[in-house]
Amino acid sequence: MTAKTMMRANAILAASSGLALRLFFVLRFPATDSGDAPFYIELAWNWLKKGVYGGVVNGQLIPLDTRTPGYPAFLAAVFSLAGNSSRAVMLAQAVVELGTCFLIALIAARLAPEASRRRAAIAGLWLAALCPFTANYTAVVLTETLVAFLTTLAIVLLLEAERGEISGVTSASALAARAISPWFLAGVIAGFGALVRPETPLLLLAVGLVLLARWWHPADWLKLVRAGALMGVGLILPLVPWAARNWHTLHEVQLLAPRYLQTPGEYTPLGFDAWTRTWLWRFGDVYLANWKVNYEEIPIDSLPARAFDSPDERARVANLLEPYNDTLTLSQEQDEAFGEIARERTSRRPLRTYLKIPALRSLAMWFTPRVELLPYTGHLFPLRDKWQEDRQDFLVTLGMVLVNGAYIALALAGAWMARRRPELAILIVFVIVRTAFFASFIETPEPRYVLECFPVVLALGAQVFRSGRQLSSTGSG
């Protein structure tokens, strides 16, 4: 059997295993009503059947800009073939996710020395195919699978562009012999990604920081401006139709979506969110505070002690929550009072708000059981009590913690092995930028926010397996 035949058989086996894992999650643990899934489905169905990209507000179907149209367009395409079927969407996402696995294999190969690229590619494909965290998100009608594919494709193009700059030419196989710049194409893909999740251009920001550090000499400024302009133009092009629609239909300037994704007339509790950002870093705490606002009572005794700096402050919060719990509506005056408490807490301990809490949120997003879509608690402590209460829950949670830790450990080891590769900087800075953004500026530290970084984690982890006897190309005609 030739080396090419062995590699092809290995790739088919990995892809088949990956598809089986994704089908397992789709069939066994579908999360049909999780998070924003019903709203995305409503947007897609109204768009497809009624010709209105919007939803029902106060009993009337009206156009909205609350979510960018990329993911609803994907849903509408599936619905046009299979009807309003969440299961069909999940199956389509399983196929998309397999495409991401092959793109991860390309990144893994690019990071490896030439003699080790086949082995690194196969290792990357296997790690991606068997990753339970990315596979799990194919079983929910949310944006993660689609945006991870687009992000990974953009990374492949950016690495191709960087290689062209380093070598002085773009490879012959790349994009019709320089007919289209990979910088431009990466911007276009990031633009389409922004129509799925608005923070996708953070990838281009990370690349810009790397290029700025690398090309800060005046002799390189022309290359810097050229690459930045190409990425910027590519990014804007896919957004123009959406911005034009918002101007024409809603008479507003909106390139992406409102910062807080609010519908018309909806009040955003900015003060309450500012207050929780001074203490909330565990994902589980969002169920105690943020996700209860205007829906459920928030008992003062359910909040952790770190939410208060003194008994007096606790009493102030209790006085604000008492009328809220009677009406389940946070008034603007109450929200402003929470904002004042947030400012006082930040003034007393600015490092807590701007450094400690974001750092803890970063750790919480990365080191988590990642069972938020599964029927398990994700709790391990106290160990003896959790073991005795539900051993299956305990073992599944512990297993996911260990798998997550293993992937991160492999990625760190792989980053060290690839430390001399110029491509590494783009990947590392992207992970840092995305993590810092969600840890510092977004209200809830959800583990899914770093899922788009997992293609980098998996490609780096593959470097650990690139050593050993290489596949010979002899006789592989």
Residues 203, 207, 209, 212: what is their CA dihedral angle, to the nearest 10 degrees? -160
Max CA distance (Å), the chain: 79
Read off the pLDDT of each residue in 418-439 and give the average, rounded to a whole number.
96
Which tens digits make up the pLDDT trace of 38-51? 999 999 999 999 99
Helices (H), 29-116: 37-50, 70-82, 86-111
Q: Please state, in angstroms and as integers, the Cα–Cα distance from residue 188 to each residue in 142, 211, 430, following that order.
A: 22, 18, 18
What is the pLDDT averaged over residues 68-88? 96
| 216 pLDDT above the threshold of 80 | yes
Give whole-number Cα distances, 336 to 330, 332, 339, in Å: 10, 6, 5
Integer Cα distance of 171 and 169 in angstroms? 6
pLDDT > 70? residue 475? no
* Residue with more model confidence, 336 or 171: 336
For residue 472, is pLDDT > 70? no
CA distance 430 to 211: 12
What is d(CA 466, CA 463) in angstroms, rounded to the nearest whole number?
5
Residue 342 CB coordination number (10 Å)? 21
pTM above 0.85, yes or no: yes
- Quickly count: other Cβ atoms within 10 Å of residue 115's Cβ: 10
What is the mean pLDDT of the segment spanning 369-382? 93
Q: Give the pLDDT band (50/70/90) at residue 163.
A: confident
Check if the beta carbon of residue 107 is closer than 8 Å to that of residue 459: yes
Q: Where are the domains of the chain?
A: 1-142, 175-261, 267-348, 358-453
**Integer angstrom CA distances of residue 224 from 32, 170, 200, 232, 404:** 45, 16, 21, 12, 37
Q: What is the structure's pLDDT at 265?
A: 64
- Tokens found for residue 298: 């928030």
Confidence at residue 3, expressed as pLDDT on a 0 to 100 scale: 76
3-state helix, strand, coil split of the chain in percent (to 5) is: 70, 0, 30
**140 half-sphere exposure, CB direction, 13 A CA radius:** 21
What is the band of 178 on the pLDDT scale with cuts at 50, 70, 90? low
The residue type at 79: F
Under the banding of pLDDT at 50, 70 and 90, the label for residue 328 is very high
Angstrom distance (rounded) from CA 172 to CA 192: 26
Q: Are 238 and 187 in contact (CB under 8 A)?
A: no
Q: Chain-wide mean pLDDT for the chain?
A: 92
Q: Is a pLDDT exceeding 90 seen at residue 413?
A: yes
Is the distance from CB of 234 to CB of 104 less than 8 angstroms? no
Q: Residue 369: what are its φ and ψ, rounded to 5°? A: -65, -20
Mean pLDDT of 213-233: 95
In this prediction, residue 5 carries a pLDDT of 85
For 361, the 3-state DSSP assignment is helix
Residues contacting residue 208 through CB under 8 Å, at least 6 positions apart: 228, 231
Over residues 139-152, mean pLDDT: 98
Q: What is the pLDDT of residue 473?
A: 36
